[in-house]
Chains A and B, each alone.
Chain A
């Protein structure tokens, strides 16, 4: 069994990788340095012009593909899996249009190598839908008109989802801080704040 499939099993058992590693973290340093504690079979080596098979978990689905070392998670989502809801804005972690959830936390897909996404649960804006129905955050964004051109919107929606998962009832200042990693050049911030508050209500009502 490879290390990667082991991680998948962990997440299937409901133990997140983060927690798993957290519990393993303390006091193991000496062992690791002095001996070869970690199994070598987990090792991966890919040449710059080669590709590596990876298994990603995206929106609850398993995806197998081969990636180059330099491909980012954003490259893979948009160019190889056609999940274009995750937007390309700057490709340098400066706009937030590519925000996805990694194990439930908002991160920029452009700053994550696809190889490094392995073993984590990735959620994109498409993954917030319930079939054809909008999720609570999406519904709230429509109700509050929390967008103009709409290009930053999927990233905003996913960031809001990440914020509310960590803090289901944020106050206005927490919303402002929580949504501060997503640029909106149209300047729909005010309505975005309202939408996040509305989304918190919808989630608490169990709607969407």
Chain B
């Protein structure tokens, strides 16, 4: 999680223990309810940042370095400045633009416009003009003279002594080692040892709404509408860049058109928009083009993972060893992680070494379970191979070796672990045994099934504050800082309020994701949103409930413990006929509103709450053409309580769709001669379409009824849904064909060749 999300253990906790008892039977939470913002989404009335137009607004565009590695010698802007509609041209020498640029908590690594350009796509200049067409015309008229430098884009080559240095001090960013037990001895004593080198592609986030900010200054106060996953993180970073107090920076994002991790950290475009707005004293909108977003707004780096594993014939996994290599791109970030290797299975002897390097390529950003899908790709295929080698069913082999504690952290216990049930229930629902022994049909189409397990490592940043406000008529305002990145956050949180206050969803108005009007919540990433914010929402609603019942108890002259809230009424448990609508409570009319405040309590001490999953794939391989069709997918997830089945299932299927892309179609391609990306558009960079997902998908929630993780019992879902999919597909392809594909994606290009080699063609 390095460079991506704060370490929960480093956050000073409030000494506020978990106070609320777990829910018993719920009336609202867990149901399949339509989204509270469904109408806005389908009617086209939801206004995303890219849709926003402010009065007198200018449009800015960015001029980017076309070379993988170069120094800017000269920027000639006079022709652009004279063009129609141009109001500002920004370069490194523009007063106010000498902004140091940070990647994470360490010191600045670059500048807003750095004369040392380290990848093709780096920001060199910008133009603000009256229309976006004028801005582009002017941007094309800016002439930049470069000194083109030698570049390196290959991770292994970057480590060679004579490799071009991306930064002073060389290209090695970090090497780490992890070890437990005696790996050498375990390998020596094992019945079976096997391994291989696996490679995963560089994957691009490609959210449908591009990266865009609209900035406006009112005196020294900056307001930014930003397509972001977290307004508070953005507020903090903008305050640092512009040296402003937090109160002078307001960030707003009512709707965000996807992010998948790429919209967690601040992009230069946001700061450029704000800078241009300050220079021109006008609002400025800056939308990164689709093509440019592929170059500069993040990726999941390619990983090379050399794995070795050992087992005894009785099915005991005895040793795991992994070497990980990946590139963070041109600036600090994270590239690889052995977490899954060291945590998913009970294995006394394990060792991992990671190496991360700089290359002249776009910088990595957090991407849906950073580093986990690549590790799953290697680990889960290796586990599959081990099972085969000892003649054991892969399901049985996994069940025999499940971890029950977090070995990575001194055997820390989990608050709950439903992985065993995920595998057992998933296999049962999937029809694993019969599918596994299904005879092949004649002809060139071969079917196969495979599975893979997974877990996610981030328990969430345990701090958020939520206000819930009850109005005199019994309607409710939910005020929270969390962003809804498409997972249904608003809907789920409203359901929590409805659960506690007994008001219908239609009576709940939501304010969210605005640093000016809502309370702190961590960014929506790392599968933490429901985990972190739903307990705070519940606490705020319970606060309101307590105050309300106190009023009602006095008026109805009954003890508060004997009252419940239901259907907009206060209902005496033993005399339901005496129910009173909330709007008729005098005390409520007297006060006009009741405000409840809820805070997220710290994580449980001495335990950790993490989600687990198992996914199953059924594929058809065309042995003549190498085409792989995913016929069927099943996901069994332990993400704790299912807050809303509709959004839960949707998110699981979405994670698997992305996994199909990771496993079968997606791969950033850099030209070896120039270092430039050749497939920076949605045709050449192939994300899955409606035709790439199976028509048969099943979601099997496993709820271990975790009463310790937090007060709503929910664990994260977004990341785990994406982690094992590609590996499960690869195992199914192996089952179908006997071909073990080490390099993702499994394209027809690769598969047809591997099949031919297997046949000896």
Contacts and interface: CB of A to CB of B under 8 A. Distances in A.
Contact of B693 (A126, A173, A190): A190
B486 A129 contact: no
Contacts of A179: 690
Contacts of A79: 53, 131-132
B45 A187 contact: no
A183 B688 CA distance: 8
Interface centre among B48, B257, B687, B688 (most CB of A within 10 A): B257
Interface in B642-673: 646-647, 649-651, 653-658
Nearest to B212: A88
Contact of A149 (B39, B42, B50, B209): B209
A148 interface: yes
Interface string B250-266: 00000111111000000
A121 B683 CA distance: 29
B255 A148 contact: no
Nearest to B651: A148
Contact of B646 (A84, A124, A145): A145
A142 B43 CA distance: 10
Nearest to B646: A145
A139 B651 CA distance: 20
B416 interface: no
B682 interface: yes
B133 interface: yes
B682 A149 contact: no
Contact of B44 (A154, A173, A187, A190): A154
A91 interface: yes
Interface in B570-604: none
A173 B696 CA distance: 12
Contacts of A180: 689-691
A193 B43 contact: no
Nearest to A78: B51
B660 to A, nearest CB: 8
A182 interface: yes
B43 A129 contact: yes
A123 B687 CA distance: 28
B42 A134 contact: yes
Nearest to A153: B41
Contacts of B47: 84
Contacts of A137: 42
Contacts of B40: 150
Contacts of A157: 42
Given A149-B485, A180-B689, A185 B258 contact: yes
A14 to B, nearest CB: 27
A109 interface: no
Contacts of A124: 44
Interface residues of B, number: 62
Nearest to B487: A148
A84 B651 CA distance: 26
Given A142-B34, A151-B258, A187 B658 contact: yes
Interface string B336-353: 000000000000000000
B682 A95 contact: yes
Contacts of B42: 125, 134, 137-139, 141-142, 147, 153-154, 157
B206 interface: yes
Given A126-B43, A143-B34, A185 B653 contact: no
Contact of A141 (B37, B38, B687): B38
A86 interface: yes
A120 interface: no
Nearest to B45: A85
A89 B290 contact: yes
Contact of B257 (A92, A141, A150, A190): A150
Contacts of B690: 176-177, 179-180, 182, 184, 189, 192-193
Contacts of A189: 653, 657, 690, 693
B46 interface: yes
B486 A147 contact: yes
Contacts of A92: 290, 681-683
Nearest to A192: B690
A149 B486 contact: yes
Interface in A151-208: 151-154, 157, 172-173, 176-177, 179-180, 182-193
B465 interface: no
Nearest to B204: A185
A56 to B, nearest CB: 18
B257 A70 contact: no
B44 A126 contact: yes
Interface residues of A, number: 58
A202 to B, nearest CB: 13
A82 B257 CA distance: 18
A195 to B, nearest CB: 9
B697 interface: yes
A149 B132 CA distance: 26
A97 interface: yes
B650 A183 contact: no
B721 to A, nearest CB: 9
Nearest to B51: A84
Contacts of A95: 208, 290, 682
Nearest to A71: B133
Contact of A151 (B257, B657, B683, B697): B257
A87 interface: yes
B711 to A, nearest CB: 26
Contacts of B53: 79, 82
Nearest to A155: B208
Contact of B653 (A89, A173, A187): A187
Contact of B486 (A89, A138, A173, A186): A186
Contacts of B205: 185
B486 A148 contact: yes
A73 to B, nearest CB: 15
Contacts of A149: 207-209, 255-259, 485-486
A63 interface: no
A68 interface: yes
A182 B35 CA distance: 22
Contacts of A176: 690-691, 695
Contact of A89 (B35, B132, B210, B657): B210
B247 interface: no
B93 interface: no
A170 to B, nearest CB: 13
Nearest to B657: A187
Given A90-B682, A185-B687, A186-B258, A191 B650 contact: yes
Nearest to A159: B690
A78 B289 CA distance: 16
Interface in B465-520: 485-488
Nearest to B258: A149
Contacts of B207: 149, 151, 185
B653 A150 contact: no
Interface in A50-89: 68, 70-71, 78-79, 82-89
Contacts of B657: 184, 187, 189
A116 interface: no
Given A89-B290, A193-B690, A145 B34 contact: yes
A10 interface: no
Q: Which of A85, A126, A185 has the most CB of B within 10 A?
A: A185
A3 interface: no
11 contacts: A78-B51, A89-B209, A90-B682, A138-B42, A149-B207, A154-B42, A183-B682, A187-B656, A189-B690, A190-B650, A191-B650
Given A187-B656, A189-B653, 16 more contacts: A89-B290, A91-B290, A137-B42, A143-B34, A145-B650, A148-B654, A149-B486, A151-B207, A151-B208, A151-B255, A153-B41, A154-B42, A179-B690, A182-B690, A187-B657, A190-B650
Interface of B: 32, 34-35, 37-48, 50-51, 53, 131-133, 205-210, 255-260, 287, 289-290, 485-488, 646-647, 649-651, 653-658, 681-683, 687-691, 693, 695, 697
The 3 tightest CB contacts between A and B, nearest first, are A85-B44, A187-B657, A151-B257
